[in-house]
Structure 1
């Protein structure tokens, strides 16, 4: 048996050796980062006091394993926060939002009103569709003492847009009215909505476009019976799960929804089915918890500039959106002749000259509530105020 002094010495030696080994491995990773620009696979990196400190921490050896261990311990002792993420009472993960000022809300609404007036002069409908926020507005799951203004920001922006006669869809409200459980449509470890939520949202957007244009559509596109849903269990560790590890709130399932009927689309020098042209199957071949978001990697190709070779109508859609649009893009192009995507945070690129050149029949804005902030660049439509 070791004496107490000898045991302390042994433990200290092992601890120091472990730190030395990890330090050597981390130094190797840091050198590889500087020399070969090889970044860590984990989405989240800490933001520390200096650029060098951040780079050292970001390239710490076995960082993901330490995040997992940290998350497991915090889960066991019931801590509700970790690395800027809040665990709701129902175990969903949230990054809280600050209050957006009334002045910013009014500015955003005025800019969109100018955009809407310009489009209306050309007979082009504009729809602003607000995606749901992780935290439901119907029954708070916030831990005691935590403040969040996400739903309040949405409420005030939607009200401001409606007062200016801009068409809106609030998917928080439509899901509630349709008896859909809010959290069934959101990932537990991610800020995104699920693929099922994207399909649901498309159906509402389709209804709006048909009501405004009277266009002919393919009824198969919005009927879930015409799709195969493939479940990938415990496959998706979202942006918030990357910060907290696989033991803090678990890992999400990922469902891929693909059409059973023939499709033919073209874009970026490719022509083929939706699956051939838009869907990246590689992340679904092997489960990898260290991978960045399965959602983004699998569906990221659904946004772009595409043409539908089987379209029953001649409509051109301008789709202004963010990564929430990944879960909607494939259905949009299956329903209409042409869809062009613009990133909502690059709204200053959408000018009168751009609209005249592309000449869309309908403009759909599908936006995540995180853009409703005082420093947002997603509502910069000042160019339309001078028209």
Structure 2
């Protein structure tokens, strides 16, 4: 009995010692990070709510050894052959692809967001501007993706079907990029990243060609008449093997589902672009070739590790999500002017589309807090306005305009 008691005492001392040492290292790490984050921040009563959220997010993201704990937990989940993590926040299908999901029993209601979309179309001042809803694909591919028994399905594709059907009844043009996805010739297990919710850049490039074809056929455009800009032979395809951990992989750790290959695609031919973005008070301006003005190489050169946001290679295109973006193609001043109201799936697609346009604008409702219809109507001579939110983003959060 005395030996058992002694072992418990020793174990307790070791545990308390570990907590003490961890607290010291964690406190130093937090102090350094908080100094960096709040170095130029003005803290006052008017922004206390934002400051408290920043404190919470900074603390959560910078726990000492955070990703070692995540890796360890993810490895245990894999050993136990579990297909979900963190109370079904991330699930894994039978093909090994991770998904965001939630418990649902039917598709989400869409009438309100259809009404707002129709109002947006009708609110365009320039009646020559063509309004199109552009539906990007969902990672759950019908006929291929399959969930294990007990794993909840979010009905995102069914929600998208209902949304597009009602848009058509309201006389709102739409293009569904899900329809032709399996005809791309790309293996089904290479269409999307395993560790991220985004489509792979090869998939985006193929859909860029499909979008050009649809605009030419259905809207009498004359984009890329000789097929030069949509020809993959005219682009560099640089593959980085096992180099990418997406947003879901950062939650589960690399041992749970491995790492993805990432292919960077950019033109071989001569290009000349200007880039402008603004998010809040932060502005950026660049000029040069496609790879100089519309790409950032920092995710490929960072030494902060694959888990850091700085290593998010998908955000290399157009520097990721920004409040507003304006891309100007100096080699094609007479091309069409297009605008995307979008989520993150549309970003690399817009970058590729810029090769056949004169101007491409983007606005993201999550990062642009002013009135979006006013911003759009303030741009002269737009040929197309594309509204593009993926099936899982068909929620009122992404349609913050024309609320009744």
Cα distance in 2 for residues equivalent to 1:305 and 1:213: 25
Instruction: Tell me the secondary structure at the aligned position of residue 179 of structure 2.
Output: helix
Higher helix share: 1
Q: How far has the Cα of 1:181 moved from its partner?
A: 4.2
Cα distance in 1 for residues equivalent to 2:54 and 2:288: 45
Question: After superposition, where does 1:351-362 map in structure 2 within 5 Å?
Answer: 351=373, 354-355=376-377, 357-362=379-384
Count of residues paired in the alignment:
370
Indicate the residue corresponding to 1:195 in structure 2.
201
Indicate the residue corresponding to 2:371 in structure 1.
349
- Asked if the contact 1:134–1:183 (Cα under 8 Å) also holds between the matched residues in 2, the reply is no
Q: Which runs of 4+ in 1 moved over 6 A?
A: 3-8, 50-55, 100-103
Indicate the residue corresponding to 1:377 in structure 2.
397
Indicate the residue corresponding to 2:141 in structure 1.
136
Cα distance in 2 for residues equivalent to 1:364 and 1:114: 14
Indicate the residue corresponding to 1:367 in structure 2.
389
Instruction: Tell me the secondary structure at the aligned position of residue 266 of structure 2.
Output: strand
TM-score, normalised to structure 1, is 0.84
CA-based RMSD:
3.2
The alignment status of 1:85 with 2:101, answered yes or no, reads no
Counterpart among 224, 238, 247 of residue 239 in structure 1:
247
Indicate the residue corresponding to 1:20 in structure 2.
20
Indicate the residue corresponding to 1:31 in structure 2.
31
Between 185-194 and 327-336, report the one with greater CA deviation. 327-336
- Asked if the contact 2:124–2:373 (Cα under 8 Å) also holds between the matched residues in 1, the reply is no
- Asked if the contact 1:91–1:188 (Cα under 8 Å) also holds between the matched residues in 2, the reply is yes
Q: How far has the Cα of 1:124 moved from its partner?
A: 1.9
Q: How far has the Cα of 1:175 moved from its partner?
A: 0.7
Counterpart among 112, 125, 129 of residue 124 in structure 1:
129
- Asked if the contact 1:105–1:157 (Cα under 8 Å) also holds between the matched residues in 2, the reply is yes
Question: After superposition, where does 1:1-387 map in structure 2 within 5 Å?
Answer: 11-37=11-37, 58-83=61-86, 84-97=89-102, 99=104, 104-119=109-124, 122-148=127-153, 149-178=155-184, 180-211=186-217, 212-217=219-224, 219-268=227-276, 269-285=285-301, 288-292=305-309, 294-301=312-319, 304-311=325-332, 313-345=334-366, 349-351=371-373, 354-355=376-377, 357-373=379-395, 376-382=396-402
Tell me: higher relative CO, structure 1 or 2? Use CA pairs within 8 A at least 6 residues apart: 1
- Asked if the contact 1:187–1:193 (Cα under 8 Å) also holds between the matched residues in 2, the reply is yes
TM-score, normalised to structure 2, is 0.81
Instruction: Tell me the secondary structure at the aligned position of residue 279 of structure 1.
Output: coil
- Asked if the contact 2:34–2:58 (Cα under 8 Å) also holds between the matched residues in 1, the reply is no
Structure 1 portions without partners, runs of 5+ = 40-49
Q: How far has the Cα of 1:222 moved from its partner?
A: 0.7
Residue by residue over 1:64-89, the C-alpha shift from the partner in whole angstroms, topping out at 9 and shown as x without a partner, is 10100110111011112112211222
Distance verdict in 2 for CA 1:55–1:319, change over 3 Å: closer
Structure 2 portions without partners, runs of 5+ = 40-52, 277-284
Q: How far has the Cα of 1:321 moved from its partner?
A: 1.5
Q: How far has the Cα of 1:245 moved from its partner?
A: 0.5
Residue by residue over 1:221-270, the C-alpha shift from the partner in whole angstroms, topping out at 9 and shown as x without a partner, is 11111111001111111100110001001111110011111111123343
Cα distance in 1 for residues equivalent to 2:260 and 2:181: 21
Distance verdict in 2 for CA 1:266–1:372, change over 3 Å: same
Distance verdict in 2 for CA 1:27–1:202, change over 3 Å: same
